[in-house]
Structure formats: structure tokens, C-alpha cells
Amino acid sequence: MLTLETMYSMGHEEVVFFQDKSCGLKAIVGIHDTTLGPALGGTRLWPYATEEEALIDVLRLSRGMTYKNAISGLNLGGGKAVIIADPKNKSEALFRSFGRFIESLNGRYITAEDVNTNVEDIEHIFTETNYVTGVAQANGGSGNPSPYTALGVFRGIEASVTKAFGSRSLKGKTIALQGVGSVGFELSKLLAEAGANIVYTDVNENNINRMKEAFPNFKFVAPNEIFSVACDVYTPCALGASINDETIPQLKAKIVCGAANNQLKEDRHGLILKEKGILYAPDYLVNAGGVMNVSIEFEGWADSKSRRMVDTIYEKTLDVFAISEKQNIPVNKAADVMAEKRIEAMKSIKTSYLGKVDHRMPGQKRRF
């Protein structure tokens, strides 16, 4: 149950529930922290079993976005949205209705693509509000963020391998890839080009078939077998919390580095990984390529500009490892230290982002 005490304990500024019976819209927006700017985070569409499950997800994800945007050096706060629905029931009306609700927040929250939402869905939202990123390149946006998210994770893996093995090269390294959807598939391309060996799993038959066709030499294993694969890097690219009490004893990897959000089920699992000698790359840093990419839509998007920004994830990941080593703390805590230091420095000179009044004429588009 959501209470003001829950919001207080997790640091949230605002949680908003939206519904539109006409199109079946049931949505929750969590605005965690706007110290650094308007809250930016994607919209996840998922058939949650209960509203409480959806709420827990949006609270965790929005908080994660605050830390992701802060550690990435972006002038953006953290937020997230979830839509409770079966992906098969997506419609133009649902996303346009959602876009109208986003517009009513007056710029405190800017949305983007996430699990089970794509550029076409974003375009429907964009019809109703400017407070959305990742719109089609034809409309001045950056389009699909998956290649940039994948590039960031790839740089994180390179940094992790550098730390663990003393060389940036991935040639001959074995990667256990959990989830080969949009990001996982793009990451597979980069790993293949780098000469890595991939063992992968997924629950979606279309994703599995696409991998078999594109990479016939890669090995597929059942979802419950991926944790015990003997590998150099375990790379979670599906939903979160795959690092937990049940899976950690199975891990045979030297490194955990992937695209999934909230990979640690609980913070204490970061310490357990450290004690077992498994190097953990901070998920909200290495998977920040997508948000880095869409963030530059505000100033004018360009592929080269985006890739230069995403490339910085390599050095930032090494910086977090250095903090972890110097302070003798788990890597997840070291990442928090870096992010919180920036947020705290700004709190003394900024109050919450209150949004902008939009004076455009009806039907007139502008980008922030």
C-alpha cells in the first residue's frame, strides 16, 4: 500500500495515478527527484498481476532513474511510468490518452521508450505532448534508443574486463546473456564483432529464433540454466532482481554487467557479490546509453554526439570501481556515492523543478 511514509522513505516527490476507462488505460507515474532538472524516464508497459506490483516497480525504477541521470552527468531528475496492460492490447487511443495525462504534469516528467513500448507508441504520445523523447528521427528525435543502450553496456563490459583481467579485449571471452530483446540483440552484434563467445537465453520464441538465424554459432540454454553457465561475464538484459539469494550461489561468472534495471534484488546482494569475488558493474551507469542518447534531443540530436557521450561510460565505470576499492565498499554503494555527491551539491542552489508554462498556440509543436 502506498503511503506518504513510503514516499518519504524512498525520497519520492510525487506519485500520480491515471486512468481512462474508454481505452483501458491504467498508469502510474513516479517522480522521484527533480533537483537536477525535470524527471526523465521511460514508460514500461507490462501485465502486472496486481496494482501493488506495478507500484513497487515504478517506485524502484523512478528512484533508479534519479541515480542514473545524476551519475551520467545529465541535467535531469529521475522519474518513471508504468502502464498496466497486456502488450497485445496496445492502441493509438491508449498512448494518446496517456500523452494527455503527461501533458497535464506541465513538464515535471518527460517520458521515453521502455519495456514493451517502441517508437510508434512514442509517436502517439508525441501527438499529445512535447514532454516525450525518443520520437522518430523524421520528427527531430533520436528514434530507437536500443543501439545506444547496448553500446553503453558494451563499454561497461569492456571496463569490467579491463579491471578483472587487465585487458580491454573481449576476444575469446564467454558472455552469458540473459534476454535477447531489443537491447540484448544489439549487444550481441557488438559482442560478436569483438570476438566474444555467447551463451544466451530468453522466454520469447521470436527473440530466440532471431538469434538462431543471426548467430547460429551461439549457444542457447533454458532460462533456468543461464545462471550456472561457466563464463567470464553474466549479462542480465531482461527484467530486474535476477541477482538474488537463489541465483548468486549458482553464478560461475567473474563479472556481472548488463542492461537490466535494478539487477540486485536487495542492496545487500552487492556486498555478497563483493565477498564472493564477483565484480559487479553498476547497472544504472552501464545501461545509461539510452537516456544519454535521448537527452541530447533538447539541444539537437546527432548520432556522433550521442556515441561520444555514451563512450564515456567506459571511464566512469572504472572510476566507480576505483571508489569501491579505495573506500572498501561494494560497487553498487560506490555508484550511489558518486551520484548522491552530485545531487547534494546541487540541492543548495536549486529547488524542485516546477515545470514550464507552455504558451504555444493549439496544435503548435515545440521541443521543450
pLDDT score, position 356? 59
Beta partners for 243? 264
Examine the pLDDT at 89 and tell me if it is beyond 50: yes
| Edge-to-edge strand list for the sheet holding 255-256 | 219-220, 197-201, 174-178, 233-236, 255-256, 279-280
Q: Can you tell me the distance from the alpha carbon of 28 to that of 32, in angstroms, rounded to the nearest whole number?
A: 13
Q: Among this protein's residues, is 326 annotated catalytic?
A: no
pLDDT class of 357 with cuts at 50, 70, 90? very low
Query: Domains of the chain: which residue ranges?
Result: 4-65+77-132, 146-342
pLDDT score, position 351? 58
pLDDT single digits (tens) 244-296:
999 999 999 999 999 998 899 999 999 999 999 999 999 999 999 999 999 98
pLDDT single digits (tens) 309-321:
999 999 999 999 9
pLDDT class of 139 with cuts at 50, 70, 90? confident
Q: What is the pTM of this model?
A: 0.86
pLDDT score, position 360? 37
Give the active site residue among 21, 68, 80, 365: 80
pLDDT class of 149 with cuts at 50, 70, 90? very high
pLDDT class of 350 with cuts at 50, 70, 90? low
CATH class for domain 146-342? alpha beta
pLDDT score, position 5? 83
Examine the pLDDT at 143 and tell me if it is beyond 70: yes
Contact yes or no for 122/112 (Cβ under 8 A): yes
CATH class for domain 4-65+77-132? alpha beta
The more confidently predicted of residues 157 and 360 is 157
